[in-house]
Chain A
Amino acid sequence: MLRDAWLMARKDLRIELASKVTIGQILPFGALVLILFGLAVSPDLTVLGTDRRSVLAQASPGLFWMAVLFAALLTLGRSFAIESADGKLDALRMAGLDPAGIFLGKMLAVTAQLAALEIVLGFGAFVLYNAPLARPLQLIVVVIAATTAITSAGTLYAALGSGLRVRDTLVPLLVLPVLAPVLLAAALSTEAAVFGESSGGWPWTLLLGVFALLYVGVGMLAFGPIMEES
């Protein structure tokens, strides 16, 4: 299984290196989303009861994760468009690769691409929204857990929609409700890490970890039957 996962992940990352879709198209899209969010909220508005903390900075964790989520949808769609084109899902089935390995490999490749996007978008969010960073280590843990939850659930649903003609519109409709709790937990735990709030945000981070484990487990189990039906 791990051998197959590594094979799939290497192949997907090699395709990304050759096509540069993530860097050339998805990253600019995510950056545009961040900028548009910034334009939609006045930087002069401050949050009551804080030391002149702007509304934009206060909302920055949620806005950052929204931008990541939109970018993730594009990355996931691209990841499975590659496989469903030209009959390659059939070829993967003929090769007898472990479905759980294919799931993990696709998920790992998307996670790597999303992690690269998050570094750039995160830097952009700090600069554009003038957000502080009180607990960087906690933020790293939050980002790892949230990214894993997003890519595991996203990979599962992107595979589910890959055989459908309406996948481009259907997959976001399926994925976004499932990821709504992840978005909430990610935004609240990021807020705690960024502003160093006394509540700590660890329960939300723990919840993110549970989501990640749950979606990875379900994905590994369900990917075989999904591939058979694609």
Chain B
Amino acid sequence: MAPRVVVDLRSAISVINQFPALAGIDLQVTEGEIVLVQGPNGAGKTTLLRLCAGLATLAGGSGTVLDHDLDHAEPRRRLRREAGLLAHETYLYDELTVEENVSFWAEANRVDPTTIDPVLDRLELGERLRGVRVGDLSAGQRRRTSLAVLVCRRPRLWLLDEPHGGLDRAGRDLVDDLIRHAVRFGATVMLASHDLDRATAVATRVVTLAGGRVADSGVRHADVTDDRERPLDERVEDHDAP
């Protein structure tokens, strides 16, 4: 059976402040892929991720993400609940603690609160940092907190904009582990990164953007979803383990 297409963009145009940030993109991403989106500054990487998150709108062309039509408002709203975006911004409230931030976003995203503690421990935000105000954290610790919010959501489509930014080596390794873990459980990942050595190592395909278009849609060169044939209950156990 052919893998399911998760992202299907055809001549997609997206305009930001009257500038066509995406100027006719054709891109298909199938379930289980880890697609690295690379390109120079202003190539349209962030806009592409925002379009796939349902935050940016289509000004031309057509597109579906997770079977939601990007051309209409209501499907875009439904898509947002199924996709997870890690952006340049942290989405965190400086005045609240790590635990209060993650709990707030977990409740907003209707996440089971029992998943919070294992995720905080997995991201090394447990004992020492959970009670610290986010405004007092380092950039790397803030990034880990944003990642914790994303992991709690368990999105079907992970959209990561510079996920390694601000992290030390252990943090970058952790991001790569989380990506592989999510894909093993059936998620699809698109990431934009300037840390090409690291991102290329984790990606199964590299897509190159230039001037708001796809310059090279790449070739799928690896598959990390090789345990899909395992029984579902085993995969669930793996996923539930922090």
Q: Which residues of A contact B (CB under 8 A)?
A: 4, 7, 11, 14-15, 18-19, 82, 86-88, 90-97, 228
Asked if B185 CB lies within 8 Å of chain A CBs, one says: no
Contact indicator A86/B92 (Cβ below 8 Å): yes
30 A-B contacts (beta carbon < 8 Å):
A4-B108, A7-B104, A7-B108, A11-B104, A14-B96, A14-B100, A15-B93, A15-B96, A18-B95, A18-B133, A86-B89, A86-B92, A87-B87, A87-B91, A88-B89, A88-B92, A88-B93, A90-B85, A90-B89, A91-B91, A91-B105, A93-B55, A94-B53, A94-B54, A95-B81, A95-B108, A96-B77, A96-B78, A96-B81, A96-B109
CB within 8 Å for A88 and B91 given contacts A15-B96, A94-B85 = yes
Residues of A within 8 A of B89 (CB): 86-88, 90
Q: CA–CA, A205 to B85, complex, Å? A: 47
Q: CA–CA, A38 to B100, complex, Å? A: 43
Contact indicator A94/B55 (Cβ below 8 Å): yes
Q: Classify the interface of chain A: helix, strand, loop or mixed.
A: helix
Closest to B80 in A: A94
CB-CB contacts below 8 Å: B35-87 with A: 53-55, 73, 77-78, 80-81, 83-85, 87
Contact indicator A86/B91 (Cβ below 8 Å): yes
Residues of B within 8 A of A92 (CB): 108
Distance to closest chain B CB from A46 (angstroms): 48
Other A-B pairs beyond A7-B104, A94-B83, 10, CB < 8 Å: A7-B108, A14-B96, A18-B133, A87-B91, A91-B91, A93-B55, A94-B55, A94-B85, A95-B105, A96-B81
Asked if B30 CB lies within 8 Å of chain A CBs, one says: no
Q: Classify the interface of chain B: helix, strand, loop or mixed.
A: mixed
Contact indicator A11/B55 (Cβ below 8 Å): no
CB-CB contacts below 8 Å: B17-39 with A: none
Asked if B225 CB lies within 8 Å of chain A CBs, one says: no
Q: CA–CA, A86 to B88, complex, Å? A: 9
Q: CA–CA, A14 to B80, complex, Å? A: 26
Residues of A within 8 A of B88 (CB): 87
Distance to closest chain B CB from A188 (angstroms): 39
Q: CA–CA, A209 to B85, complex, Å? A: 42
Contact indicator B108/A228 (Cβ below 8 Å): no
Q: CA–CA, A90 to B109, complex, Å? A: 13
Asked if B208 CB lies within 8 Å of chain A CBs, one says: no
Closest to B89 in A: A87
Interface core residue of B55, B78, B80, B95 (most chain A CB under 10 Å): B95
Contact indicator B55/A90 (Cβ below 8 Å): yes
Contact indicator B95/A15 (Cβ below 8 Å): yes
Distance to closest chain A CB from B83 (angstroms): 7
Residues of B within 8 A of A86 (CB): 89-92
Distance to closest chain A CB from B86 (angstroms): 11
Residues of A within 8 A of B133 (CB): 18
CB within 8 Å for A19 and B95 given contacts A7-B104, A87-B87, A95-B105 = yes
Q: Which 10 A-B pairs have the closest CB atoms?
A: A87-B89, A91-B91, A95-B108, A96-B81, A18-B95, A15-B95, A86-B89, A94-B80, A19-B95, A95-B109
Interface core residue of B73, B81, B92, B93 (most chain A CB under 10 Å): B93
Q: CA–CA, A15 to B77, complex, Å? A: 27
Asked if B107 CB lies within 8 Å of chain A CBs, one says: yes
Contact indicator A11/B80 (Cβ below 8 Å): no
Closest to A19 in B: B95
Closest to B90 in A: A86
Contact indicator A228/B73 (Cβ below 8 Å): yes
Q: CA–CA, A14 to B133, complex, Å? A: 12
Q: CA–CA, A91 to B90, complex, Å? A: 9
